[in-house]
Amino acid sequence: MKRNTRLEILQTAKALFNERGFNDVSTRDIANALGISKGNLSYYFKRKEDIVEAILEEFPGNPPDTPKTMAALNEFLLDMQDTVQENAFYFWHHAQLSQLSPKIKELQREMYRCNVQKLRNAFKRFQEEGYFLLEQVEGQYNRTIDALLLSSIYWLPFCTLKQEKLVENDFQKQAWSILFPLLTEKGRKQLDEIVGLRKQ
């Protein structure tokens, strides 16, 4: 079977970035881990930034469709958590990476715009179906979405800052805590059926 060197470079680079951090991995480290020359690697990617761009272009992100049910929104949040854990280096170095190249910054913006649109559509649907309250203050939905996305970006570094071990589905619980004030009683009952976050 023909070797897919480009894919191997991306997979190896991401594993090393996750393990050591973006700043402590060189292109030579990546080449050595693959058993290829640095010149061979540079045929595919001349800089580390080029590797990051390629990783982001194939970023798994979240489900392609707007969540249409509360259960689907819960899966959306779990997928966000998986994405953070599988691409830890990206979230550790999110702000730094945005400064490395205009393309990385634009890819970050596109991911943000895409997730905002999905969540806005979901919030509107859930409000119409009686699961979400009407906005209590102007812009409440947008600010809640921003809080949710900011939380996804900084959740992993913040856990380390607090010297806490990652707990299964911790981000999911944090996300629902952010969303909880928007829920009607109908929405809260539905949430209990899905994940049972409320105290008994």
Residues 128 and 104 in one domain: yes
Q: Encode pLDDT of 177-196 as tens digits.
A: 999 999 999 999 999 999 87
Please tell me which residue, 47 or 200, carries the higher pLDDT value. 47
Number of domains in the chain: 2
Q: How does residue 58 score in pLDDT terms, banded at 50, 70 and 90?
A: confident
Same domain, 97 and 150: yes
| Residue span of the structural domain in which 67 resides | 60-194
Q: Are residues 49 and 66 in the same domain?
A: no
Which of 55, 77, 93 is the endpoint of a domain?
Answer: 55
C-alpha span between 97 and 196 (Å, rounded): 37
Domain membership flag for residue 133:
yes
The answer to whether 79 and 63 have CB atoms below 8 angstroms apart is yes
Take residue 89 and report the two structure tokens written for it.
């280096």
Give the model's confidence band at 64: pLDDT under 50 very low, under 70 low, under 90 confident, else very high. Answer: low
Residue with more model confidence, 164 or 174: 174
CA distance 160 to 69: 33
User: Does 33 share its domain with 67?
Assistant: no
Of the candidates 74, 91, 126, 98, the one whose C-alpha atom is nearest the C-alpha of residue 18 is: 91
Radius of gyration over alpha carbons of the chain, in Å? 19
CA distance 113 to 108: 9
Q: Is residue 165's pLDDT more than 80?
A: no
pTM for this prediction: 0.85
Q: Is the pLDDT of residue 139 over 60?
A: yes
CATH number reported for the structural domain that contains residue 66 in this entry: 1.10.357.10
Buried b or exposed e, range 147-170, using 16+ CB within 10 angstroms? ebbebbbbbbeebeeeeeeeeeee
DSSP state of 65: S
Same domain, yes or no, for 84 and 163? yes
In a domain, 103, yes or no: yes
Indicate whether 147 and 169 sit together in one domain.
yes
Q: 120: which residues sit within 8 A by CB, 6+ positions away?
A: 141, 142, 145
> Would the pLDDT of 50 be above 50?
yes
